Chains A and B, each alone.
Chain A
Amino acid sequence: MTILPALIILSPFAASPVSLLIGRKSEKARDAFFCAFLAAECVLAALAFAFAAQGRELAFTWAGFAGFGLSFRLDGFRALYTLIAAFMWLMTGIFSPRYFRRHHHRNRYAFFTLLTLGATVGVFLSDDLLGAFIFFEIMSFTSYTWVAQEETKEALRAAETYLAIALCGGMVTLMGLFLLYHRLGSLSFAALRAAGGAVPPQELYLPGALTAVGFAAKAGMFPLHVWLPKAHPVAPAPASALLSGVLTKVGVFGLAVIGCNLFRADAAWGRAVLLPGTVTMFLGALLAVFSVDLKRTLACSSMSQIGFILIGLGTRSLLGAHGALAVQGTVLHMVNHSLLKLCLFLSAGTVYMNLHRLSLNDIRGFGRNKPLLHFAFLSGAVGLAGFPLGNGYISKSLLHEGLLEYIALLREAGEAAGLYSAVEWIFIISGGMTFAYMLKLYIAIFWQKHPTRQREMDDLRKGYLSPMSALALSAAAVMPPLLGLFPDFFCTGIATMAQGFFGGVSPAHPVHYFSAENLSGAAKSLLIGAGIYLLFIRPCLTEKRDGARAYVDRWPRWLDLEQLVYRAAWLRRGLCAPVLFLCQFLSGLADSRPVKVRIPQAFAALSRLLSGLPDARPVRVWIPRCFGALARAADEAADHAALLLSLPLSGHGKSGPPPVGTRLTFRIGRALNAAARVLNRSGLRAKPLPEDYEFRLAVDRREARRAIGRIARSLSFGLLLLGLGLVVTCIYLLLQ
């Protein structure tokens, strides 16, 4: 028995290549194998569910896988969602052959659908965040092929967005897992639960929030929802049903694992989930109201319903131990939404495979006189809109009650609850909008008439479904009313079974789903919805054209978060382009001209300089000169020393008053001057003689006198030294 979880997860991985090989030989055989396998998988899942419904658990560990080991656990919630996934895969599988009749690449679709199934149940059955992440990433990539399947321009673009967000989200989650693992040393759910009470939440906020990002993106939480309204409509309808019904729930599953283990009673975390959840809920509903495309409306509706579920999750963390109702509401709304979207997307698929159109104006009146389609769509619409006796009513009431409970709790504690009252009102209004857009679809498809093609559509009455696809559609259509009509059996049972996973407990008293309070909440919603339809949608979003009511897309084209932010030109030009340019610059650094040319040039110049150094003028001329000067200095050193020694005795040197001659020198000078003048004037000399002999003689005379004086002084200095020497000698002799 313990092998059961492993079998459920691994058999789709094993079956996918088989289906690929069979499909190469025969498409029919492949379809048969595909459906048979899904039926077997569904039986296995039902077995697991029956097992878990008895309150028993199955744990299975695959030690050593990917180095960490995988651990799976089959308990209430996981068994439930495994069954839902298997059921939805089976229904869409049965529906597909007819749907894909004229499509290409059916083999590819079957291959990746099986892989995605394995990965999806792998996430749901994981008991370890790392294992869940492994399957989550596989799922992200394999489900990419669903979105891109049609290979139209829009499909490829939407698929690109889907992949980019899934990939970036996945990487952010991985960062969170790095941090969590580093902090806790284990990522098993049990370890997370233990850490939730023991580790201070401040240390867990960042890792927890990062881990949540990837899952939030998959769930379609604002502001990471941008892929959802684009990807779901372009995928083939069976795949849309799975994307909307199950894959978004995988995201919710991840958020629940974090919220219900790490942040069981953390108000900050609860708010951080609740507020974006509210925005998602309202925005999705708003987009759906404006949408004029059947599948886009359903996709936006998915987004909005995920918002409801996120509110449940948020309230659960806000309420902590009192969160029983919020938990039940969350679980039930997940289940209900999955089943409802199966029903609705298969209906949309029925429309598309007959008309190959999805715009409301093109499909007006298709549903007339087609009771099975009518029933299926109505079953989905009633449930989603929250009519009493529909299954959506039950879960929305519980979610609403959870919110009210928290508001009451806050009031009791004397704190302001204005924010949450606003959330409650948005909740009710969004519920109303749900009714309004479903009414819009319903009236368009089943009541209006197509102005030109109505006869053509009526002719499709027979044979618009193959027997197999009719079977799938009706099986899908039966589920929601069953849950809605017998809530005490189904809903309470499901909620009780699944709440353990969310850390919930059964409420003290059984829930009265049809209490006056709940009914009045639903009535408020429905009234608001009817009002929106009558007062807004009909007058503002439709116009008379060709005598019939046509739908107009009034949503401003530029108002698109993806275009405004994620793919915006300012982001590309302002952030990406400079970064890429910087990288180019860095990458070319070592090969850039300055480095490649200047550095060798500098080296060459240096070498040239060094090699020419011995011949350089400074070396050749100045060094010899330097040496010459040195030699000269050494040569004259003795003279200079003597001069230096005599300096103290030689007075002021050359300076002094101008020389004064004697009478004799004056006369001789005058005579010489006269002679020189005669010679100069006679022109006999090329170079004129000086005519200042009076002065010159005076100078010479002074020099001569000075020299005589110096000699006399030197002599006396010498005698002085001699005397001193004699004295020293005498002293020496005396002492001797």
Chain B
Amino acid sequence: MMGSDLLLLLPLLLPAAGGLCVSLIRLPDSARKNLVTAVLALEAGVAALLLFRPDASLFLFSFSAEIPVFLSADSVSRLYLAFISLVFLLVGISSFEYIAHEGNGSRFYPFYLLTLFALAGLSLSGSIVTFYMFYEAMTLLSLPLVTHSQTKEAVAAGIKYLLYSVVGASLALCGIFFLSRYAQSLSFAPGGVLDAAKTAGNEGVLLPVLFVMIIGFSVKAGMFPLHGWLPTAHPVAPAPASAVLSGVITKAGVLGIIRVIYYLAGAEILRGTWVQTALIILSLITVFMGSAMAFQEPVLKKRLAYSTVSQVSYVLFGLFTLSAAGLSGALLHILFHSVIKNTLFMAAGAIILKTGLTRVPELGGIGRRMPLTMACFTLVSLGLIGIPPTGGFLSKWYLAQGALAMDSAWNWVGPSVLLLSAVLTAGYLLSIVIRGFFPGEEAAREALPPSEPGWAMRIPMLILAALCLLGGMFPGAILEATQSIAAAVVH
């Protein structure tokens, strides 16, 4: 069953080699820029190539006969790899101007590429042990991105990030130990690998273990009560780092949960149990709490961080419904939230870079100064609220249908909370847009200097904003992919 498709090694080797090159060889800025762009573009190309190939796997080595470490490209892996490498490419391109301003590019880009290496490995992991290895690697490799500015706050935030991540990962590891007793193997397989003969009668142990494991992975995904690292780490990290933290790294936690629920345990064993109920309640609390916190947060990047807390829990809620529609909505929301949040952080980065403004009340009239940036910001804001025909509407629709498909008299609560949170989302994003474009008569008379960033920053934003809109309007292929994944793992 374990193949030897060496192509799978390429997405790992590329960024790893690129990262090492950039760190070991002292390159002038422009050469580094070209090298990083080339690596990212190649990575995206390889990911696109893999996207259209059938399932494959590659055995690496094994700790013991029962614990092989191997890569495998199933449909979820390929989807993840594709979106991660696309986002990294676009964020990478838009980051050059920002990092040039911030300084220390020779340290930022190695870790940026190595984080991509860990994420690629994470996406392609074939077993939970492989996954765990890359998961820890990702935490450690992305830490320098958080602490990049080396201020006291940044270091403190980095420590907090590390602490939360390690606690989460160790909870997950603890779960792996238990799970190995009840599973046929620790490799991912659609529908789960639990051995029915061993699990029978042991639900009392298994359910708490699964709960602990999911809570462990949910730390990265920013689920209440362990979401605290997000709003601390985002404002201090440089904007490109915040973008990938929010858009991609939180999704690594989500991938962990997808793997645990749908590829190890199987949805069946959790359906209707207290674990499902507890997780749904936690995710809904997070959805609402995140939005409400973002609503009252004056610092732009922190506001976006709270928004991520809320939105990633939309995804988790979809996963916890354990229904095909919910899972497919969750996968869609992973993609669209990533597209949207990266655009928002790029815009925030452009604002910080060009005007130095970080607080929302100072952003009156920003739309006049940066019309294109703020137009992208507006479009993706509407997407995040879930206004049709953007992608956010589509994912919300499936999430709600998934929730209503649950066999419970309370199934309407989930969609109601999602919509309530959407109203709050409008409150915290559109207020920026409105004050940006409609600052009022007095502001109109002041001449505000135009301050659009360079095209290298604008084009990625435009591409992502267009993806948010066009992905919602013509979702055929994406929808098919997510629905086929969902159909394979949920019965």
Residue among B228, B288, B405, B474 making CB contact with A583, cutoff 8 Å: B288
Are A590 and B225 in contact, CB atoms less than 8 angstroms apart? yes
Q: Which residues B378-418 have CB closer than 8 A to chain A? A: 382, 385-389, 393-394, 397, 400-401, 404-405, 412, 415-416
Q: Is the beta-carbon distance between A587 and B439 smaller than 8 angstroms?
A: no
Restricting to A148-169, which residues have a CB under 8 Å from any CB of B? 148, 150-153, 156, 159-160, 163, 167-168
Nearest-CB residue, chain B, relative to A589: B225
Contact with B along A124-163 (1 / 0, CB 8 A): 0000000001100110010000001011110010011001
A-B pairs, top 9 by smallest CB distance, nearest first, are A583-B292, A134-B388, A182-B404, A171-B419, A178-B400, A583-B289, A591-B228, A66-B389, A590-B225
Say yes or no: B475 contacts A153, CB within 8 Å: no
27 contacts between A and B (CB under 8 A): A65-B473, A66-B389, A66-B393, A66-B473, A67-B476, A67-B479, A134-B393, A137-B388, A138-B388, A148-B438, A151-B438, A151-B441, A153-B440, A159-B434, A163-B430, A163-B434, A167-B385, A171-B422, A175-B416, A178-B400, A178-B404, A181-B401, A580-B292, A587-B306, A588-B228, A590-B227, A590-B228
Taken together as a complex, chains A and B put the C-alpha atoms of A243 and B449 apart, in Å, by 34
C-alpha spacing A408/B131, complex, angstroms: 76
- With a CB–CB cut-off of 8 A, which chain A residues contact B224? 586-587, 589
Scan residues 5-59 of chain A and give those whose CB is less than 8 A from a CB of chain B: none
- Please give, as numbers and ranges, the residues of chain B lying within 8 Å of A67 by CB-CB distance: 394, 397, 475-476, 479
The interface of chain A, by Cβ under 8 A from chain B, is 64-67, 104, 133-134, 137-138, 141, 148, 150-153, 156, 159-160, 163, 167-168, 170-172, 174-175, 178-179, 181-182, 579-580, 583-584, 586-591
Asked whether B423 is an interface residue with its Cβ less than 8 Å from the other chain, the reply is yes
- A3, B28: Cα distance in complex, Å: 57
1/0 per residue, CB under 8 A from A, across B221-254: the answer is 0001111100100000000000000000000000
Cα distance, A580 to B290, chains bound together (Å): 10
Q: What residues of chain B have their CB less than 8 Å away from a CB belonging to chain A?
A: 224-228, 231, 285, 288-290, 292-293, 295-296, 306, 382, 385-389, 393-394, 397, 400-401, 404-405, 412, 415-416, 419-420, 422-423, 426, 430, 434, 438-441, 444, 472-476, 479
Beyond the given A64-B476, A134-B393, A587-B293, please list 16 additional residue pairs across the A-B interface where CB-CB is below 8 A: A64-B474, A64-B475, A65-B473, A66-B394, A67-B397, A141-B382, A153-B441, A159-B438, A167-B423, A168-B423, A171-B423, A178-B400, A583-B288, A584-B296, A587-B306, A590-B225
Measured between C-beta atoms, what is the minimum distance from A220 to chain B in Å? 20
Partner of B419, one of A150, A159, A174, A587: A174
Give the secondary structure class of A's interface: helix
Residues of A within 8 A of B288 (CB): 583
Residues of the B chain whose Cβ atoms lie less than 8 Å from the Cβ of A580: 292, 295-296
Closest CB of chain A to B418's CB: distance in Å? 9
Inter-chain CA distance A580–B476, complex, in Å, is 39
CA of A589 to CA of B226, assembled, Å: 9
Shortest Cβ distance from A172 into B: residue: B419
The residue that A151 contacts in the complex, of B228, B444, B479, with Cβ under 8 A, is B444
**Contact between A586 and B285, CB atoms less than 8 A apart:** yes
By the criterion CB–CB under 8 Å, are A587 and B438 in contact?
no
* Interchain CA distance A581-B474 in the complex, whole Å: 41
- The residue in B285, B388, B415, B479 that gathers the most chain A C-beta atoms within 10 A of its C-beta is B388
Within 8 Å CB of B227, what residues of A?
A: 587, 590
Shortest B279–chain A CB gap in Å is 16
With a cutoff of 8 Å between Cβ atoms, the chain B residues found around residue A170 in the complex are 387
User: Across the interface, do A178 and B388 meet the contact criterion of CB distance under 8 Å?
Assistant: no
Residue contact B474 to A65, C-beta cutoff 8 Å: yes
Chain B residue nearest to A586 (CB atoms) is: B289
Contacts of B397 in A (CB 8 A): 67, 178
Q: Which of A160, A163, A167, A172 has most chain B Cβ within 10 Å?
A: A167
With a cutoff of 8 Å between Cβ atoms, the chain B residues found around residue A171 in the complex are 419-420, 422-423
User: Given A156-B438, A179-B412: A134 and B400 within 8 A (CB)?
Assistant: no
Residues of B within 8 A of A150 (CB): 441
Nearest CB in chain B: distance from A147 CB, A: 10
Pair A134/B389 contact, Cβ less than 8 Å: yes
Query: Is A590's CB under 8 angstroms from B226's CB?
Result: yes
Contacts of A64 in B (CB 8 A): 474-476
Per the bound structure, the CA–CA distance linking A64 and B439 in Å amounts to: 39
Chain B's closest residue to A178 (CB) is B400
- Which residues on the B side are within 8 Å of A587 (C-beta)? 224, 227-228, 231, 289-290, 293, 306
The answer for the CA separation of A150 and B444 in the assembled complex, in Å, is 11
Q: Which residue of A lies closest to B296 (CB)?
A: A580
The complex places the Cα of A587 from the Cα of B286 at a distance, in Å, of 9
Q: Give the distance in Å from the alpha carbon of A160 to the alpha carbon of B386 in the complex.
A: 19
A396 CA / B388 CA spacing, docked (Å)? 37
Bound together, the chains give a CA A203 to CA B444 distance in angstroms of 52
Q: Which residues of B contact A167 (CB under 8 A)?
A: 385, 423, 426
* CB-based contact A579/B292 at 8 Å: yes
Partner of B440, one of A133, A156, A579: A156
Residues of A within 8 A of B400 (CB): 178
Chain B residues positioned under 8 Å from A174 (CB to CB): 386, 419
With CB as the reference atom, state the residue of chain B lying closest to A133. Answer: B388
Q: Provide the bound-state CA to CA distance between A65 and B470, in Å.
A: 10
Which of A67, A152, A590 has the most C-beta atoms of chain B within 10 angstroms of its own C-beta? A67
CA distance A362 to B404 in the complex (A): 57
Contacts of A151 in B (CB 8 A): 438-441, 444
From residue B484, how far is it (CB to closest CB) to chain A in Å? 14
A168–B397 Cα distance when bound, in Å, is 17
In the bound complex, residues from chain A placing their C-beta under 8 Å from that of B393 are 66, 134
Which of chain B's residues has its CB closest to A175's CB? B419
Chain B residues with CB below 8 A from A133, complex form: 388
Distance, CA A156 to CA B365, complexed state (A)? 14
Query: A163 — which chain B residues lie within 8 A by C-beta?
Result: 426, 430, 434
Nearest chain A CB to B401's CB is how many angstroms away? Answer: 6
Cα(A84)–Cα(B44), bound, Å = 50
What CA separation (Å) do A170 and B473 show in the bound complex?
19
Complex: chain A residue closest to B416, CB-CB: A175
Chain A residues positioned under 8 Å from B430 (CB to CB): 163
A696 to B393, CA, bound (A): 107
Shortest distance from the beta carbon of B430 to any chain A beta carbon, whole Å? 7
Give Cα distance in the complex from A588 to B295, angstroms: 15
Q: How far is the CA of A148 from the CA of B434 in the complex (A)?
A: 9
> In the complex the two chains form, is B422's CB within 8 Å of A65's CB?
no
Tell me the bound Cα distance from A32 to B227 in angstroms.
55
| Docked complex Cα distance between A590 and B415 (Å) | 27
Give CA–CA (A195, B227) in the complex, Å.
45
Distance (Å) between the CB of A109 and the closest chain B CB? 13
User: A168 — which chain B residues lie within 8 A by C-beta?
Assistant: 423
The residue in chain B whose Cβ has the minimal distance to the Cβ of A173 is B419
> Closest residue to B476 on the A side, CB-wise?
A64
Residue of A nearest to B368 (CB): A105
Contacts of B474 in A (CB 8 A): 64-65
| Closest residue on chain A to residue B443 by CB atoms | A151
CA distance A392 to B440 in the complex (A): 39
Expressed in whole angstroms, the Cα–Cα distance for A181 and B190 within the complex equals 29
When chains A and B are docked, how far (Å) is the Cα of A590 from the Cα of B225? 6
A137 near B479 with CB under 8 A, answer no
**Chain A residues whose CB sits within 8 angstroms of the CB of B444 once the complex forms:** 104, 151
Residues of A within 8 A of B285 (CB): 586
Which residues from chain B contact A182 at a C-beta distance below 8 Å?
Answer: 401, 404-405
In the assembled complex, which residues on chain A have CB atoms less than 8 Å from the CB atom of B292? 579-580, 583
Residues from chain A with a CB closer than 8 A to the CB of B475 are 64, 66-67
Please give the distance in Å from B264's CB to the nearest CB on chain A: 26
Q: Tell me which residues across on chain A come within 8 A of B423, comparing CB atoms.
A: 167-168, 171
Docked Cα-Cα span, A583 to B420, in Å, equals: 14
**Minimum CB–CB distance for B366 against chain A, Å:** 15
Which residues of the other chain, A, contact B388 by a CB distance below 8 angstroms? 66, 133-134, 137-138
- How far, in angstroms, from A168 to B430 measured CA to CA in the complex? 13
Query: Which residues of the partner chain A approach B306 to less than 8 Å between Cβ atoms?
Result: 587
* A156 to B438 Cα, complex, angstroms: 8
A158, chain B: closest CB distance, angstroms:
12
